[in-house]
């Protein structure tokens, strides 16, 4: 025989749904907020921040509890009671009532679009603490007639803001794209007539659908709101917009659910944004607009992203420097004023000192580093939409990834074929091949997988010896496909009594339903299909499913050649009394690069967790193959039942999360961020991943992903390959490291310089540098730092995640800052003791002080940038070395030039440069000793 393998409710506990509030009322005794039109806007705004329930652990928000209570109440109720809850009738709403409700509830839009406008992006790019400081100092400089200083600071701000604004505006992140849900016509049943009301069906825009409307849906239609089914016929719905999984689900109006059924598995409830695949139905709209399940999910967008540690740290630094600036500048200004009694000159000098204390290049260095990182990632086929995501990539220590298409190749391959006793049998493969080969309508990738398996394994089934008579195409009601074939050769050679056969493959349960016989191929006999056969085949299929395989069933039936085909095809019982012949298993294999990529990420301190809406068994199978530990796994329904503490502990411990809803993915990410103190990346490509993408520190999607997922992502991969992420992690750490070099160097150098200026001012009674000299020194120093984004980082630095630490910066400054001031004080003592400098020698003193200060600020980068001995064990990149040589040379030469004379400098003796050589050798020697001590204590440097 030739075979083919394929594929009672307590109503008193139900809360009443008030159309006017579109909310489930709380049981009596609980306080309800009245947010009616007379409620103060201020108090409503205040309540939002004081009484809103925080999402924590596995618990639901107040809004979610209301929605769950409402949906489950409807799912458990009879149709008559459902009409009562939503205050509707079997005929539907009248046009007047629908208009009234539309005015009351507002347009049926799932979420208001919050696309960032260009001025929002410009404000975000401009509102940086140091930009504000520079703008204030620039204004003060213009007021004090110090136009060059004011102009330079404005230019620095303009360049910094322009870089960031251009990068983010060119690929601005849209917060929502739900337009596809609000632009389709919906067939609605309304009642009309003043005396005798009649039912009419009209098409309205989805935005005009209101609670209480009766909608009629068919293949391809979107549900315009949350709907309680009233009637259904073979209704199959795709919920991929909510679950991310391509598998469809059957819905029926003729069941009454209970609270043990997961929300998305409710058979008589359809949700906004899901679509009809096949069949038809009639449903009562119970929730629209902002009260739907879809809106409840996406209402969390943009509200749960944790504060950026780096930006918080920058703001803390700015406040500290402003405080120091106010104290030091006040002391210096008062000291100079009491000596010179020239108020305008004193104010100008104070502005110059304040300018010197401000890390003027910080915004520019940060944004240049990020922009350079974005260009480098673009070469690795990554589109960076948010510059800060590059920096966060360097700090990321956990990456949450979806399974399908990320760890797997996203297409199934055939693995094996079994007869009904679980033994491999070539005859099963033969008929599966014929079914796949001759199927022409709605061809599925699994058909290609069957043919590819047969060809690559050397099977030659000679389809040319068969004629296709007809085909019964696949549909979601039958969930199977059949072909009718007729052999061209004699029945004797083919070992069958007839030459026409019906071969059917499809979902196993649907194949078993139409089988009355089973063939024992080895014995060559056909037996009656028994309960024992059913149990044995089901157990085999369950074992395969638990191992992560997808299973299809295969059946066949001999047909009499004299029967007309056209009369058979349309008979409902043609696919009946068939012979079950076997199973075919398929598997979506892991990518060849996935295991290596995960191993490389782990080497860099990034742990992987799998968050998927797929089954646990399949997720475990894939994770085992790519090297992810599966000792701790959990499913979404199990997570939902945990209390807060258990939830966080489970999230911390588990590596595989299966059957997750979009909200559960969000909560897992938030738990890792808040309770685990991790910097979390999320890689996803579906609408169901949007919440987690928005909440993650680094949201990553792919170019082939859903448009909404790409809108929420910070980074878009042009290749769905984890290896691309590794380059992004390395680039992020390089960017972070170079930024930290400048921050630590500038804080140490600027504080040391200001303290030295204060000491020199108090000793001499006049400003050590004039405002113009101080401005020139700042300009040269800042120009020298432009090359920092092009510096390299040591290999050990990019091997571990890097986090901002304000305490670490403070300790770094306390350890290394005094050395800069000590070098300046050593110079001051040398000038006083060796050259006998007095108040009358201010030109010589200022020239010497200018050169030493500029060289100190220029060379310090080489001490700060590496743990090793600078210039000996580690040399900076050539742009940094060239910038150092150029700026140092200019600083040394200026006193001998005409420009130097204009600035008030004088030529310096060679003996002073001999002192500087000794000074800097001592500075680097002591600096290296301090560095080793710091690393010994804190186990890190940058």
* Active site (annotated) includes residue 402: yes
**Residue 215 main-chain phi, psi, to 5 deg:** -110, 145
| Rounded distance between C-alpha atoms, residue 655 and residue 587, angstroms | 22
Please give the span between the terminal C-alpha atoms of the chain, in angstroms, as a whole number: 74
**Residue 391 main-chain phi, psi, to 5 deg:** -65, -40
| Rounded distance between C-alpha atoms, residue 593 and residue 580, angstroms | 39
Residues 503/431, Cβ–Cβ less than 8 Å: yes
- Count of CB atoms situated within 10 Å of the CB of 25: 14
How far are the Cα atoms of 124, 191, 785, 787, 920 from residue 359, in angstroms, in the given order?
20, 71, 11, 15, 23
Q: Which residues have CB under 8 Å from 98's CB, separation 6+?
A: 190, 208, 210, 212, 213
Q: Which residue bears the tokens 């369950």?
A: 542
| Rounded distance between C-alpha atoms, residue 231 and residue 233, angstroms | 7
3-state SS track over 866-915: CCCCECCCECCCHHHHHHHHHHHHHHHHHHHCHHHHHHCCCCCCHHHHHH
CA 576 to chain centroid? 49
What tokens were used for 513?
Answer: 């339903």
Residues 697/680, Cβ–Cβ less than 8 Å: yes
Burial 582-617 (b: 16+ CB within 10 A, else e): bbbbbbbbbbeebbebbebbeebebbbbbbbbbbbb
| Rounded distance between C-alpha atoms, residue 251 and residue 237, angstroms | 7
| Rounded distance between C-alpha atoms, residue 230 and residue 248, angstroms | 20
| Rounded distance between C-alpha atoms, residue 370 and residue 734, angstroms | 10
| Rounded distance between C-alpha atoms, residue 245 and residue 227, angstroms | 21
| Rounded distance between C-alpha atoms, residue 26 and residue 16, angstroms | 9
Q: Which of 213, 402, 533, 824 is catalytic?
A: 402
Residues 384/374, Cβ–Cβ less than 8 Å: yes
| Rounded distance between C-alpha atoms, residue 242 and residue 685, angstroms | 12
| Rounded distance between C-alpha atoms, residue 248 and residue 241, angstroms | 11
Identify the helix (H) or strand (E) that includes residue 468.
Answer: strand 466-472
3-state SS track over 479-506: CEEEEEEEECCCHHHHCCCCCEEEEEEE
Residues 262/196, Cβ–Cβ less than 8 Å: no
The number of CA neighbours under 13 Å toward the Cβ of 660 is: 29
| Rounded distance between C-alpha atoms, residue 373 and residue 732, angstroms | 7
CA 851 to chain centroid? 50
What tokens were used for 910?
Answer: 């060679």
| Rounded distance between C-alpha atoms, residue 655 and residue 663, angstroms | 18
**Residue 924 main-chain phi, psi, to 5 deg:** -70, -35
| Rounded distance between C-alpha atoms, residue 817 and residue 643, angstroms | 49
Give CB contacts under 8 A, 24+ apart, made by 702-707: 702/405, 703/383, 707/177
| Rounded distance between C-alpha atoms, residue 879 and residue 876, angstroms | 8
Which residues does the annotation mark as catalytic?
A: 402
């Amino acid at each position: 025989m030739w075979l083919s393998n394929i594929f009672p409710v307590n109503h008193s506990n139900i809360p009443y749904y008030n159309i006017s509030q579109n909310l489930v009322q709380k049981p009596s005794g609980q306080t309800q907020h009245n947010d009616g039109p007379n409620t103060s806007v201020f108090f409503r705004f205040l309540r939002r921040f004081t009484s809103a329930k925080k999402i924590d652990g596995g618990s639901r928000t107040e809004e979610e509890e209301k929605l769950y209570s409402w949906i489950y109440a409807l799912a458990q109720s009879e149709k008559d009671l459902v009409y009562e809850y939503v205050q509707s009738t079997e005929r539907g709403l009248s046009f007047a009532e629908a208009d009234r409700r539309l005015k009351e509830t507002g347009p049926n839009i799932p979420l208001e679009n919050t696309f960032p406008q260009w001025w929002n992006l410009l404000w975000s790019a401009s509102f940086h603490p140091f930009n504000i400081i520079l703008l204030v100092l620039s204004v003060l400089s213009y007021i004090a007639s110090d136009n060059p200083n004011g102009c330079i600071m404005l230019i620095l701000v303009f360049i910094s803001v322009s870089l960031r604004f251009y990068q983010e505006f060119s690929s601005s992140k849209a917060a929502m794209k739900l337009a596809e849900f609000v632009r389709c016509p919906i067939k609605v049943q309304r009642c009309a007539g003043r005396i005798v009301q009649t039912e009419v069906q009209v098409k309205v825009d989805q935005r005009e659908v209101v609670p209480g409307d009766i909608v009629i849906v068919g293949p391809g239609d979107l549900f315009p709101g949350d709907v309680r089914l009233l009637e259904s016929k073979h209704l199959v719905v795709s919920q991929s917009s909510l679950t991310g999984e391509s598998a469809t689900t059957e819905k029926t109006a003729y069941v009454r659910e209970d609270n043990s059924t997961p929300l998305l598995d409710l058979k008589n409830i359809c949700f906004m944004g899901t679509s009809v695949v096949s069949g038809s139905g009639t449903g009562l709209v119970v929730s629209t607009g902002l009260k739907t399940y879809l809106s409840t999910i996406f209402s969390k967008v943009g509200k749960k992203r944790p504060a950026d540690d780096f930006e918080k740290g920058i703001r803390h630094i700015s406040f500290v420097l402003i405080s120091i600036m106010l104290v030091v500048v006040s002391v210096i200004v008062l000291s100079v004023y009491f000596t010179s009694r020239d108020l305008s000159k004193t104010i100008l000098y104070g502005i110059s000192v304040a300018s010197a204390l401000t890390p003027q290049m910080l915004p520019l260095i940060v944004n240049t580093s990020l922009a350079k990182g974005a260009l480098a990632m673009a070469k690795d086929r990554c589109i960076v939409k948010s510059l800060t995501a590059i920096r966060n990539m360097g700090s990321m220590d956990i990456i949450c990834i979806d399974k399908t298409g990320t760890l797997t190749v996203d297409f199934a391959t055939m693995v094996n074929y079994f007869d009904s006793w679980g033994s491999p049998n070539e005859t099963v493969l033969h008929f599966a091949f014929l079914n796949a080969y001759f199927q022409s309508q709605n061809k599925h990738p699994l058909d290609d997988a069957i043919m590819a398996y047969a060809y690559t394994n050397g099977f030659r089934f000679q389809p040319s010896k068969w004629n296709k008579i007809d085909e019964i195409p696949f549909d979601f009601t039958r969930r199977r496909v059949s072909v009718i074939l007729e052999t061209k050769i004699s029945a004797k050679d083919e070992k069958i009594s007839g030459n026409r056969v019906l071969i059917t493959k499809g979902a196993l349960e649907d194949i078993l339903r139409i089988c009355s016989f089973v063939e024992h191929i080895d014995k060559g006999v056909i037996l009656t299909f028994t309960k024992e056969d059913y149990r044995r085949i089901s157990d085999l299929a369950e074992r395969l499913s638990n191992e992560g395989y997808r299973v299809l069933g295969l059946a066949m039936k001999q047909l009499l050649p004299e029967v007309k085909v056209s009369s058979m095809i349309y008979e409902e019982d043609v696919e009946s009394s068939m012979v079950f012949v076997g199973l075919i298993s398929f598997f979506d294999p892991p990518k060849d690069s996935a295991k290596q990529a995960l191993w490389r990420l782990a080497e860099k301190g990034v742990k992987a967790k799998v968050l998927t809406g797929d089954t646990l068994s399949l997720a475990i199978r894939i994770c085992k193959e790519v090297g992810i530990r599966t000792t701790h796994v959990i499913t979404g329904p199990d997570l939902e039942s945990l209390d807060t503490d258990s939830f966080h502990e489970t999230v911390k411990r588990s590596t595989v999360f299966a059957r997750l809803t979009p909200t559960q993915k969000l909560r897992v990410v938030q738990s890792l961020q808040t309770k685990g103190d991790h910097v979390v990346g999320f890689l996803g490509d579906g609408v169901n991943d949007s919440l987690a993408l928005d909440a993650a520190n680094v949201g990553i999607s792919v170019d082939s992903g859903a448009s909404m997922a790409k809108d929420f992502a910070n980074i878009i991969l042009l290749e769905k390959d984890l290896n691309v992420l590794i380059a992004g992690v390395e680039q992020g750490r390089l960017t972070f490291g170079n930024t930290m070099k400048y921050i630590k160097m500038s804080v140490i150098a600027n504080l040391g310089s200001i303290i030295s200026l204060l000491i020199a001012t108090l000793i001499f009674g006049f400003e050590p540098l004039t405002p113009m000299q101080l401005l020139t020194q700042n300009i040269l120093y800042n120009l020298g730092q432009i090359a920092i984004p092009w510096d390299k980082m040591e290999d050990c630095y990019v091997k571990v995640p890097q986090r901002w630490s304000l305490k670490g910066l403070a300790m770094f400054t306390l350890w290394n800052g005094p050395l800069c001031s000590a070098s300046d004080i050593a110079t001051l003592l040398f000038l006083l003791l060796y050259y006998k400098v007095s108040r009358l020698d201010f030109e010589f003193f200022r020239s010497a002080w200018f050169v030493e200060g500029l060289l100190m600020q220029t060379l310090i980068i080489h001490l700060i940038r590496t743990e090793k001995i600078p210039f000996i064990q580690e040399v900076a990149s050539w742009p940094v070395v060239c910038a150092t040589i150029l700026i140092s040379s200019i600083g040394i030469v200026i006193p001998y030039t005409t420009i130097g004379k204009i600035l008030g400098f004088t030529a310096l003796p060679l003996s002073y440069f001999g002192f500087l050589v000794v000074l800097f050798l001592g500075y680097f020697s002591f600096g290296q000793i301090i560095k080793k001590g710091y690393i010994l204590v804190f186990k890190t440097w940058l």
